[in-house]
Amino acid sequence: MKKVLKFWLFSISTTSEILIPYLNLFFSLEERQRAEKRSREAKGHKFTPRWFDLTDEVTTTPWGELEVYQYNGKYTEHRAATDTSECIDEPDSRPDFNPWQYDNLDAE
């Protein structure tokens, strides 16, 4: 019984050591998304997805009526324009990827 308990406690502590950094990263990403949304709403800007367009279609789900978006192909164009296949050996020469609509929320 003691061996099983020790293994179980060891497993929990090891799992925690592995998961906590990922959980912190996840929650900081979520907070960054919330901050960007607050900033966007305060400025009166409307969020528009880069890679999807809104269709006229509405679908019923258990959570209510949801609008349907369709892939617009712009991501494929973006990837073709920023081809980094030649930059594999030189990571510093790759173009920066910025998923945020607002670059630096801390400066505001």
The structure's pTM equals 0.47
Closest C-alpha among 72, 79, 82, 32 to residue 50: 72
* 47-70 pLDDT per residue, tens: 888 889 999 999 999 999 999 999
- Please choose, from the candidates 88, 92, 96, 48, the residue with its C-alpha nearest in 3D space to the C-alpha of residue 72: 48
Residues of the chain with pLDDT under 50: 5, 8
